[in-house]
């Protein structure tokens, strides 16, 4: 079996790669940073010498590189697609850099959309395959001071839910799921300019393992951790304005 993982050079993506290798899955690892990809490949091959690992350097904020990535790997029989690449930007919407936000939208939304569409067609044709789109518990609410990031994750959650139902209604054996973690101990925070999200962070290795297990079980929404599950549930019942004020206050307090 073969898994393609975007955003594989760090964080959850890196842990997913290592986890899948221990399960006997061959890997195609995609990220912008060649050196980190090669270091990860070396680590995996050392620990799991039977696993084949291919690395591809790509910037998924560029639409043509998303299509180019698919063209480079379509000859392989990909069994798993992990749309894991993504980043955030902290700050008031009036002040955050528009160019950076558009780049984030390209990675968090357009790349996920393009790769899901292209690989899903292949998976549907052979009636097998797994797609895991990394969203966030942020995908269940709006996020003052991380407005665009939360909005992109809402898109990922809703797209995944809709496609899941389309597949289910036709009896397809293709599985599509959305991973919706809360804060995770990764470099995401430093990239986004966030010190803390106001609730306890999960370990990235735990999140990766839990995500893979629940994907294989066919779960639609994969929410690791009791605290994160509570936050997701609470977002459905809390009054909108109260929830907005709560999220804003948490961000302000934790990022002073």
What is the set of active-site residues? 149
Name 29's bridge partners. Answer: 5, 55
Tell me the two tokens of residue 117: 């569409």
Which residue in 23, 37, 43 sits closest to 212, CA to CA?
Answer: 23
CA Rg value for the chain = 18
Tell me the two tokens of residue 38: 């090669």
Annotate 129-143 with DSSP letters as a single string.
-EEEEE--GGGGS--
Contacts of 233 (CB under 8 A, 6+ apart): none
Name 80's bridge partners. Answer: 3, 130
Cβ pair 55, 244 in contact under 8 A: no
For residue 87, which phi and psi values (nearest 5 degrees)? -155, 170
């Amino acid at each position: 079996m073969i898994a393609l993982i975007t955003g594989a050079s760090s964080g959850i993506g890196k842990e997913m790669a290592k986890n899948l290798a221990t399960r006997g899955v061959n890997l195609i690892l995609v990220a912008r940073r060649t050196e980190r990809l090669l270091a990860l490949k070396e680590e995996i091959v050392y620990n799991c010498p039977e696993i084949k690992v291919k690395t591809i350097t790509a910037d998924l904020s560029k639409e043509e590189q998303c299509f180019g990535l698919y063209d480079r790997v379509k000859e392989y029989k990909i069994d798993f697609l992990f749309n894991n690449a993504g980043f955030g930007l902290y700050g008031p919407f009036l002040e955050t850099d528009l160019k950076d936000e558009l780049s984030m939208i390209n990675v968090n939304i357009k790349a996920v959309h393009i790769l899901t569409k292209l690989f899903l067609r292949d998976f549907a044709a052979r009636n097998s395959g797994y797609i895991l789109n990394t969203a966030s518990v942020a995908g269940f609410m709006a996020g003052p001071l991380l407005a665009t990031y939360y909005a992109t994750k809402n898109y990922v959650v809703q797209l995944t839910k809709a496609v899941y139902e389309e597949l289910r209604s036709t009896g397809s054996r293709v599985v599509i799921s959305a991973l919706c973690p809360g804060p995770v101990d990764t470099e995401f925070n430093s990239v986004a300019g966030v010190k803390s999200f106001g609730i306890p962070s999960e370990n990235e290795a735990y999140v990766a393992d839990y995500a893979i297990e629940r994907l294989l079980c066919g779960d639609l929404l994969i929410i690791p951790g009791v605290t994160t599950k509570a936050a997701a549930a609470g977002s459905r019942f809390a009054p909108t304005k109260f929830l907005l004020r709560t999220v804003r206050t948490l961000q302000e307090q934790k990022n002073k």
